[in-house]
Chain A
Amino acid sequence: MVEVGRHPNIELITLGEILKVDGEPGNFTATIKKKPRYVDETKCIACGECVKKCPKKVPDPYNAGLIKRKAIYVQYEQAVPLKYAIDPEHCLKLTKDKCGNCEEACPTGAIDYGQKEEILEINIGAVILSSGFTPFNPSEYDNYQYSSFKNVVTAMEFERILSAAGPTQGEILTIEKEPKHPKKIAWLQCVGSRDINRAKNEYCSSVCCMYAIKESLIAKEHLGKDFEPSIFFMDIRAHGKDFEKYYERAKKEGVRFIRSRVHTISEDPKTETLRIGYLTESGKVEKEDFDMIVLSVGMTANASARQVADNLGIKLNRYNFVKTDDLMPVSTSRDGIYTAGVMQGCKDIPQSIVEASAAACYAGMKLADARGDLVKEKKFPVENSIKDQSPRIGIFVCNCGANIGGIADVKSIVEYAKTLPNVEYVTENLFTCSQDTQTNMSEIIKENKLNRIVVAACTPRTHEPLFQETLRNAGLNPYLFEMANIRNQCTWVHSKEKEKATAKAKELVKMAAARASLLEAIPDISVNVGNKALAVGGGVSGITAALSLASQGFFTTIVEKSDKLGGAAKHIAKTSNQEDVQTFLADIIEKANNHPNVEVLLNAEVTDASGFVGNFETNIIHNGEEKTLSHGIGIIATGGDATDTEEYLYGKDARVTKWNDFEKAFDKADNPQNIVFIQCVGSRDENRPYCSRVCCTSSVMKALDVKKKFPNTNVFILYRDIRTYGEKERLYKEAREAGVIFIKYDLENKPIVTSGKKYLEVKVFDPILQTNLLIEADLINLATAIAPSDNKKLAAAYKLSVNEDNFFMEAHAKLRPVDFTTDGVFVCGIAHYPKPIEESIAQAMAAASRATIILSKSSIRISPLVSSVDKEKCIGCGLCVEVCSFAAIILEDVEGKGLRAKNIEASCKGCGLCAASCPQKAIDMLHFKEKQIFASIQAAA
């Protein structure tokens, strides 16, 4: 968010509502209503003085109404922009023309009660809608007793209770006069999801199983050994990457999972203990008492999203989410308007981020011709050299309203700072970050010929870039700057010890000044980037990524191991929304074969690679010949496929098939009596402890096809949990309505298949009937595990990681779902994790979008805070190469010296592990040099 707030090419309009979009893709005019904030954003410095004086308390929606905020507020501490706003419904001045306290309290005169609603018109090329969802509101459903009993809370409320920044600072307490630590908490799944009786939401919300498990584990961590968490569920849907392992871990750590339906929640009026009445799988009536009940509420389409859809004329689906096609994910019904996140349907964070990048890719494809037209770049004066100058330090001490000045004695800090070595100038500012102070600072630097600057204020994590820009404006290198964190890490945390806070602030300033004396100017670094791309793998993901890049003008080579494009999709007839996969596949293959910017190399394999972002060299073998490809970025789309198995007579009896081979066997069958599908064959077991994500939906679809053709055939699906997540739940419901029989089995008690003459005999224990069943099956189809291609060689070539199951590991499981820690390489499709075709397409477009950030520039600027090797001291031991996780140090042969370490600036993340590991002290980190760190250590010792 901070990045968005600071980006020169992103204009952020908050409190805005989109009223209409006229025109054509590439040339839209959007009309936006901007509601008043009643606070001038250019003046507000978020000091919080207004809040102290505001008399009006309002339930705080950010904290799920558990506590109150004021009528003037900032939603939460990390909000962007960090500017206060007045809630016009509750403000006494705006509703009754009384009060006006905040106007008096505001030190910068930012309050403006007279602000009016504005209508803005902006010219844009494409629109991306991402207005989110509303959590299901259980208050009107008496079966959950949410409105009646205080200790029945929603998962959103519980999330705030768990948060260190929440109303109880993360201490889990029951909600009553004398709050206590709960001993037992129950989570109730599918509240407002998979419920057609009361809530009328037939879909699965996709995320609640995992968040309930997460909440239960965190609660266990907080409350300790005696705490007993229980989760009441229908199916645990741990269908995401590494989710199944998390579920297994929860079981081991003592989370109880109870497969049941809860029918009654009651309360003991005296003790306020909650009682849950439920029915076990075998139909037994049980009762159990809990201190707290958490309702795992689902996601629903929000009213404002519906309004936006209405205003823009885009179609919604039956659940009021934005309608998209499986084969055109994130594209709405109106050309040039795209969507991402839960506005399109229930999904988790990584999938939302994938879609956001995919939507950016679509927009980029539409606007490729105009790329770069409106890009703004900041201009700075020429940098003055400080070479041979002795340090002249300027120190600016911030009062930050009362935030620092109200606790520490700023005057005495200033006087102390004046006594420090090399300090030429010290001043105090009310708000150092304000615009006018920045201008003054720049003048002061020039006038006093200052060449090192220290700001003693808040934290460099939010404000360093701002002050560095001021240095640039004054002609100084931005790295001649240091901050002393005397607010966040001093006055705010020692607010009751004023003298100690002052003493600490002085020492922090001393440490900063000592370090500042030794800071050096560091020039910007940029590397040239090649604008060609390589996609490894020619399935739907690889082709989609290649076409997305090609259509934006970037030449892309597809390297495909087999003799055909198409990958695993060759065997898939239709998507879960009945869209024809083969026509689509034929179409994209034809496009790839004929596109002037796409080169398809079949029978080709990567053998080795070198280089770094923008500058890769990859060696391949193509039809037996060795070749080298130069490219700026790489996309890994090596896919995966259904595995074979030795279980259930597969390979021994022709009537046992796997996956899509079933269709051939079924075509030949003449009115079969019984057909059995077995799920999780080789998934979710010891060897492959992951869920293959797509199998439940696939088998349910096949079962429906059988029922359509032969309504009298008995179809059995033997499963462990049905994981038809999201809107795929409807298929499960249809299958049940069509009479498909679902029988749950356990890993400990798997079905047994024996070969009879006429039939295959399937023996399975039915947990509802509590008896063994014998099914005489004509056909058995197995949903075997989906496994990735052998990725180890490729991983080694580009220094990528794979997880235990051999799927590629992204840079961050939640926030960077297509990036690798190696810059310039991206992942998509089944190489990342099994997924249905619509998710592969979205991820491929996301990978292309991320790649475009690099390919669209002739050079990219990189952080110059990198390692630097002293070749004289280096002995070429290679320890640094070994410890570097980013392939940013290599050994190269230096004539006459032998092997010497060399840093690859473009790949270096500046962590300093190499420097700390070097036995010769031949490596130092720019801006974090040993002598600079020692100066800090020594200054305050």
Chain B
Amino acid sequence: MAEFEPRILAFLCNWCAYAGADLAGVSRMQYPSNIRAVRVMCSGRVDPSFIVRAFKQGWDGVLVAG
């Protein structure tokens, strides 16, 4: 059986975490590719129901960064 690789959904605040993810790119920092970002204008936008919805849809992990 293939090793379990979690699929992670990330809600990133446009002003900090998303900008940070961009800068990680500029600095060519390498990290695993199993993360997908959804840009929001503030982590405050993230309704708990978004997180529940993500898990229901099959995401293994949810990251809220802001």
Residues of A whose CB lies within 8 Å of any CB of B are 77-78, 164-165, 169, 459-462, 485, 487-490, 492-497, 500-501, 503-504, 507-508, 511, 865, 883, 909-913, 915-916, 925, 928, 930, 933-934, 936-938, 940-941
Contact = CB atoms under 8 A, between A and B. Distances in A.
B63 interface: no
25 contacts: A77-B23, A164-B27, A165-B23, A485-B22, A489-B22, A489-B37, A492-B26, A493-B24, A493-B25, A494-B31, A496-B30, A504-B33, A865-B41, A909-B41, A912-B41, A912-B45, A915-B45, A916-B44, A916-B46, A916-B47, A925-B45, A928-B40, A934-B53, A940-B9, A941-B54
A930 B11 CA distance: 13
Nearest to B66: A911
Contact of A937 (B29, B33, B38, B39): B38
B50 A941 contact: no
A187 B40 CA distance: 41
B57 to A, nearest CB: 4
Interface string B1-44: 00000000100001000110111111111110100111111101
Interface of B: 9, 14, 18-19, 21-31, 33, 36-42, 44-48, 50, 53-54, 57-59
Given A459-B22, A933-B38, A937-B38, A169 B45 contact: no
B53 A77 contact: no
In the complex, which of the residues A500, A507, A508, A937 has the most CB atoms of chain B within 10 Å of its own CB atom?
A937
B53 A494 contact: no
Contact of B44 (A460, A492, A912): A912
A862 B58 CA distance: 38
B38 A912 contact: no
Contacts of A490: 33
Contacts of A78: 26
Contacts of B26: 77-78, 165, 488, 492
Contacts of B45: 911-913, 915-916, 925, 928, 933
In the complex, which of the residues B9, B47, B48 has the most CB atoms of chain A within 10 Å of its own CB atom?
B47
Given A912-B45, A913-B44, A913-B45, A460 B39 contact: yes
A500 B53 CA distance: 25
Contacts of B50: 930, 933-934, 937
Contacts of B40: 912, 928, 933
A52 to B, nearest CB: 13
Contacts of B47: 915-916, 930
Contact of A488 (B25, B38, B53, B59): B25
Contacts of A77: 23, 26-27
B36 A504 contact: yes
Contact of B36 (A487, A910, A940): A940
Contact of B57 (A503, A930, A938): A938
A493 B41 contact: no
Contacts of A500: 33
Contacts of B46: 916
B33 A494 contact: yes
Contacts of B48: 916
A905 to B, nearest CB: 15
A508 B25 contact: no
Given A494-B31, A930-B47, A934-B53, 6 more contacts: A459-B22, A492-B25, A507-B36, A508-B36, A916-B48, A940-B9
Given A508-B36, A911-B44, A925-B45, A488 B21 contact: yes
B15 to A, nearest CB: 9
A500 B28 CA distance: 16
Contacts, number: 114
Given A937-B9, A937-B50, A938-B57, A489 B25 contact: yes
A463 to B, nearest CB: 11
A871 to B, nearest CB: 20
Contacts of B59: 937, 941
Given A504-B36, A511-B38, A941-B58, A487 B25 contact: yes
A501 B33 contact: yes
Contact of A912 (B24, B25, B42, B53): B42
A912 B42 CA distance: 7
Nearest to B23: A165
Contact of A493 (B31, B53, B58): B31
A499 B59 CA distance: 21
A7 to B, nearest CB: 20
Nearest to A508: B36
Given A461-B14, A915-B47, A910 B41 contact: yes
B59 to A, nearest CB: 6
Contacts of B9: 937, 940-941
Nearest to A925: B45
B36 to A, nearest CB: 5
Contacts of B18: 459, 461
A304 B33 CA distance: 48
Contacts of A488: 21-22, 24-26
B61 to A, nearest CB: 12
A941 to B, nearest CB: 4
B33 to A, nearest CB: 4
A62 B24 CA distance: 19
Contacts of B44: 883, 911-913, 916
Nearest to B25: A488
A164 B50 CA distance: 32
B42 A911 contact: yes
In the complex, which of the residues A461, A462, A497, A910 has the most CB atoms of chain B within 10 Å of its own CB atom?
A461
Top 5 A-B residue pairs of the complex, sorted by shortest distance between their CB atoms = A912-B45, A488-B25, A911-B42, A913-B44, A941-B57
Nearest to B9: A937
A107 to B, nearest CB: 20
B2 to A, nearest CB: 14
B53 A937 contact: yes
A925 B28 contact: no
